[in-house]
Structure 1
Amino acid sequence: MAKVARMYHERGLRQSEIAAELHISQPRVSRLLKRAVELGVVRITISVPSGVHTDLEDALEARFGLAEAVVTDTGSSDADDEGSVERALGAAAAVYLETTLIGGDSIGISSWSSTLLAAVEAMRPSTGQVVEEVVQLVGGVGDPRVQVEATRLLSSFASATGATPVFLPAPGLLGSSQARESLMGDPSVTQVTAHWAALTTALVGIGTLDPSPLLRSSGNGISDADQDQLRTLGAVGDVCLRFFDAEGVPVASGLDERVIGVSAADLRRIPRRIAVAGGVRKVSAIRGALRGGWANVLVTDVTAAQVLLGG
């Protein structure tokens, strides 16, 4: 047993070579190697490189039933440095997407997320088409000075993956439910929303009650009155402007009837839902999103992961 183990692990011989040299069968070599591990003759240790957090990733997957978690360092000693968090999350998400997008996907992407923009801009162009199409999940029309960011998000992702971009030519939030109902029936919108049922993956950010600077400046931000109502109803965060409480249960408010975007039910039917979000400020929103099944893949930072697991 020890001889076989040394030949395999130290000399690097294949099992077939060991069998030939010792004049025993290859199945016996395999059994001896397995037995060597069971009896402690061979001890396998894994040395995790600095900056790799598989322990936190495994714990997040177990705690929240995730298909996968990716935890990254921010490179800053200040846990509240949102710029560092955003850059780190963008880089980690870019690597994850480059690794796991292997062809045939139809992807929905939210429009107003600076973290997703950082991720997409960090992606290296693929050598072939790895995504069929990328579709906006929330209206991407807003203040002309800011709308370019929503357009760049979709265009850059399409360019990096070879996907066909499908833009949603509407604001994310309208002033009344009547205006939304009218616009949702417009052919220019329905030809986009028809793509949502066939999506295999969603790439989204997780927001808090206080709109992000990008969303606020786009003209699609939530008013103070709407924020007060959502807060009263127990909302802690949103995905694609669909708000939920601390347990991830959708919060029914008048705001829902004014959003031009994928519904909560349709979003959560998409098989793979990748959320890129981190920072201490967003922990309550991230926890609610995970509890409610809004995402089944999470890209986050070390500090957020530790707080999520401690609460």
Structure 2
Amino acid sequence: MLMGRVARLYYEHGLTHQEIADTLGLSRIRVTRLLAEARSSGMVEITVRATDTLFADEEVALSAAYGVGQVWIAPDSGDRAKAERAFASVGAEAVASLLEPGTVTTVGVSAAVARVASALPITQIGGEFVPACGSTAGLTTGANGHESALKFAEHTGGRAHHIPAPLIAASPESARYSSADPGVHRALDHAASARLLITGVGGVEHSAGLLFEAMSEADATDLRTRGAVGDIAGRFFDASGQAVDGLLNERIVGLTLDQLRAIPVRLGIAHGPEKVGALATALTHGIFNALVTDITTARALLAARA
């Protein structure tokens, strides 16, 4: 296969593009294109053996500004697909460093967390992964906590639990009935006992989070009226970091905000301009004590603290 021959001559034998072109009777441009295709197809994988973080100064600054124990920052670019892959890779690095053998991890509803779960390297660290709340009806992006818990378990040789209930019940009575179900109750108790929480953060606009996209305009308006600025795992908080009460909160099947905050290590995974306000509040008031974000969001968070 021509692409493989070109890749071996370049990476294993150190020939230049021109030397390969001359050896194989190709144009230099074609050699360049074949090498690019070899990398994009996965034929060639490059490993950089370095421990340096990508944005050490910004990580230290964010940690100091918000009192966050650990920060990981991904690069950003104009290519959305490339940026999302980089973000998922850095997120997977963060999760891998925080997981401990045999412990319980609680997982929130988040598209970003779902991508990180898929990017996590295969290991046999084990452990248990439990959703923080029920599932959003009709969600097909793999972003439900149950789906992410399954993916984390698959990649670590661990076990996943399921909460057989909706995230938002039809009424407060339905939510209480679901939460009282023995299977749901046991799973939520197990989630509350976790050492690590992995979750995204949602904002209060329809483009800023999966939960807002799933709710009615009446519920969204009520939350904004009550001062909500963001949510984690379905639990909304205000500008002072306190839980937002109301009918929607009573319909959520999942851990309370106080239970989520009681988990020792709380890793927030989020990026984007629509998340800055909610992230800044969550960091300021200790809802998160570890963070994965991208460099653009990191700089916006630092500017918000200046």
Fold-level similarity (TM above 0.5): yes
Alpha-carbon offset, residue 238 of structure 1: 0.5
1:241-276: per-residue Cα shift (whole Å, max 9, x none)? 111122322222221100001100000000000010
**Cα distance in 2, alignment partners of residues 255 and 226 from structure 1:** 7
Do the aligned partners of residues 309 and 230 (structure 1) sit closer, same or farther apart at CA in structure 2, a change above 3 Å counting? same
Within 5 Å, which residues of 2 pair with 1:67-82? 67-74=69-76, 76-77=77-78, 81=80
Equivalent of 2:94 in 93, 96, 100:
96
Which position in structure 2 is the counterpart of 1:116?
A: 113
What is aligned with 2:140? Answer: 146
Distance in structure 2 (CA, Å) of the matches to 1:214 and 1:269: 23
| Matched AA of 2:75 | D
With over 3 angstroms needed to count, the CA separation of the structure-2 counterparts of 1:164 and 1:212, relative to structure 1, is: farther
Report matched runs for 1:51-66 at 5 Å: 52-66=54-68
Partner of residue 137, structure 1: 132
Query: In structure 2, what is the equivalent of residue 246 of structure 1?
Result: 239
Q: Kindly tell me: are residues 87 and 212 of structure 1, through their superposed partners in 2, closer, same or farther at Cα, counting changes over 3 Å?
A: farther
Query: Given that residues 106 and 131 in structure 2 are in contact (C-alpha distance below 8 angstroms), is that contact kept between their aligned partners in structure 1?
Result: yes
Aligned to 2:21: none
Q: Is the 2:136–2:168 Cα contact (8 Å) retained in structure 1?
A: no
Distance 1:84 1:230 in 2: 34
Contact conserved, 1:202 with 1:272, CA < 8 A, in 2? yes
Deviation at 1:178, TM superposition (A): 0.8
Instruction: Please name the residue that 1:183 is paired with.
Output: 178
CA shift for structure 1 position 71: 1.0
1:272 aligns with 2:270: no
* 1:175/1:299 CA distance change after superposition, 3 Å: same
- Residue type of the partner of 2:181? D
Q: In the alignment, which of 199, 209, 212 is matched to residue 204 of structure 2?
A: 209
Matched letter for residue 65 of structure 2: R
Secondary structure of the 1:274 match is: strand
- Structure 1: runs of 5+ lacking an equivalent: 1-47
* Structure 2 gaps, min length 5: 1-49
In the alignment, the residues of structure 2 paired with residue 121 and residue 268 of structure 1 have an alpha-carbon distance, to the nearest angstrom, of 26
Which one-letter code corresponds to 1:139 in the other structure? G
With over 3 angstroms needed to count, the CA separation of the structure-2 counterparts of 1:213 and 1:281, relative to structure 1, is closer
Aligned residue for 2:294? 301
Does the 8 Å CA contact 1:211/1:222 hold for their aligned counterparts?
Answer: no
Aligned residues of 1:248 and 1:290 also touching (Cα < 8 A): no
Secondary structure of 1:284 counterpart: helix
Q: Is the 8 A contact 2:201 2:209 kept in 1?
A: no
Q: What's the TM-score once normalised by structure 2's chain length?
A: 0.76
Larger Rg: 1
Shift in alpha-carbon separation, 1:211–1:202, aligned structure 2, 3 A: farther
Q: Which amino acid aligns with 2:56?
A: T
Check conservation: 2:104, 2:191, Cα contact below 8 A. Answer: no
Q: Tell me the CA shift for residue 309 of structure 1.
A: 0.7
Residues 213-232 of structure 1 deviation map (CA, whole Å, 9 limit, x = unaligned): 98369xx8221111111111
Structure 1 CA distance, aligned partners of 2:187 and 2:225? 34
The answer to whether the 8 A contact 1:209-1:237 is kept is yes
Q: Percent identity?
A: 31
Tell me the residue number matched to 2:277.
Answer: 284
